[in-house]
Amino acid sequence: MTSFIRRNRTLLLIIAIVIVIFGGTIRTMEPKVWVSIMLSGLTLASLYFLVASGLSLIFGLMDVLNFAHGVLFVLGAYVGLSTFLNPRLFFNTLPVFFMLIAAVMMAQHLGRAFWPHVNSKRRQHLANIVLLLAAGSILYLALRGFPIRALNAFNITAVGGAVTTANAQEPMAMMFRRLLLVALAGVPIGILLSPRERQEEVPLRPIWQTALISGSAAVIGIVLLLVRDTGEIWMLALSPDFRFLLAIIMGTIAGALGGVAIETGLIRPFYGNPVTQLVLTLGLSIAGIDLIEAVFGEEANPPMPPPTLFGQSCRSDTFINWFSEHCQSVDVLGRAFPTYRLFIIVVGVVVFAAVGLMLRRTRLGMIIRAGVQDSEMVQALGINVRRIFTLVFALGSGLAAMGGVIAAPYLGVFPGMGAIFQLQAFIAVVIGGMGSFIGAAVGTIILGMARAFGDHFVAAGIHLPFLDAVVKGSPAIARASTVLIMALVLLIKPSGIFGKKE
């Protein structure tokens, strides 16, 4: 304990000063005011944490800074919104993805036999170019003219206006032709993604397992296409609460699959080359948002309807009464606070506890923590570190996408929302310490509180101790407060609060 205080005495002194200033500031406020501000700060902290936790896990294990993490946040929000309001989009697009995944998985075994015969680097480059051209041309033929905007035009504000399902969907024969072309395009993609190493170095699944998984994916895609009309009617007839839960599940899965695609297609070929990884993910962050705007439109969508647990137009006097009344707000020390924001806080706490227990109490968590310390030793023990990398990338990406779905009823859905939360998540990770899961949680709490009190400082002002006048600030101060905190922490401890020196 004494050594810890000696090593961190400057940081502890700053924390003590901040606590004194904070205590003096809230002393001039009514309890209902500062409690409401703190709850608002915890709401933002929970959303920041869902993005920052994934960034921290990915960087801690893989030393990868994924600048496309915000795109996954936006993807989760739009997938959740479409699942809730427009399921026909998924019944017409999911078969394409399932068929592509099935073809890519099977073609990797073909690539295992193909690459040993391509000896020189010049031949490998030529093979890569040919395979890319083949995949691109076939995908172009498969997706050319696909009515994505008509399928997405489920209300009058969407791009293209309202289009009925019968007019938006293509004939079944045309869709099966597209699936066949997509399967053909998956062959060169699978060969490109196939490991170049020998089977002993980087093993693939047995071919019968791959055939079983890819066959199941293809069957699921075909079944979804065959039941697209009845499936849409069935989903829209479900209760809003069940559809909201389904939206969270679908958004999280979409984010996880997007993370797998990023890791296998962009990150994996360039391990040990951080500059290339940064450039690729930065480019993907720009291209990804453009693609989302092309599919879903550039307009901001209204907030997704929250579950009926938080939907009644009333105000509960106590939390106990809320369980029976399901009001939109609850009385907190005489001031109304939205109950959905409390739900966001609970989600953040549950995710923190679940991921923390996974890291500390499970074999997978042990492997991840060991991989953070020495990935080469873990590989030497016979553990497929590459598969663990992919799994961790999927986990972090899924958490970010889930954050987008959770944020949709609170903030609405718009293409630029990912950039905002990605920036705050990066700042939180830097404050808490790169690669530290607990540090990411602490960093997001600090940022959430700073932003909430900063917004109050701008809107209502703060009565500082020893001053009679109320001090107000400009909106720029509230936006810059998080960056100022990061700069202060880095000046005191460059590795972050919980970071370790290299």
- Asked if residue 157 has pLDDT above 50, the reply is no
Contacts of 491 (CB under 8 A, 6+ apart): none
In the predicted model, what is the mean pLDDT of residues 460-473?
Answer: 60
Cα 276 → chain centroid: 22
Per-residue pLDDT, 278: 83
Please state, rounded to an integer, the average pLDDT across all residues of the chain. 82
Q: What is the pLDDT of residues 198-254, one digit of tens each?
A: 766 667 778 888 899 999 999 999 999 999 999 888 988 888 889 999 999 999 999
φ, ψ for residue 474 (rounded to 5)?
-90, 160
Q: What is the pLDDT of residues 369-419, one digit of tens each?
A: 777 666 677 777 777 777 888 888 899 999 999 999 999 998 888 888 888
Q: What is the pLDDT of residues 14-51, one digit of tens each?
A: 667 667 666 666 666 677 777 788 888 899 999 999 99
Q: How confident is the model at residue 347 (pLDDT cuts 50, 70, 90)?
A: very high
φ, ψ for residue 468 (rounded to 5)?
-85, -35
How many Å apart are CA 80 and CA 248, to the nearest integer? 6
Give the residue, 1 or 156, on which the prediction is more confident: 1
- Of 339, 460, 476, 468, give the one whose Cα is nearest residue 409: 339
Query: Highest-confidence range of 56-70, 168-182, 291-305, by mean pLDDT?
Result: 168-182
How many Å apart are CA 237 and CA 231, to the nearest integer? 10
Q: In percent, how much of the chain has pLDDT > 90?
A: 20
CB burial class (10 A; 0-12, 13-18, 19+) of residue 102?
buried
φ, ψ for residue 472 (rounded to 5)?
-120, 155
Query: What are the distances in angstroms from CA 300 to CA 23, 417, 424?
Result: 39, 10, 21
Q: In percent, how much of the chain has pLDDT > 70?
A: 85
Q: What is the pLDDT of residues 305-323, one digit of tens each?
A: 888 888 778 888 877 887 7
Give the residue, 198 or 84, on which the prediction is more confident: 84
- Asked if residue 472 has pLDDT above 80, the reply is no
118 DSSP 8-state letter: -
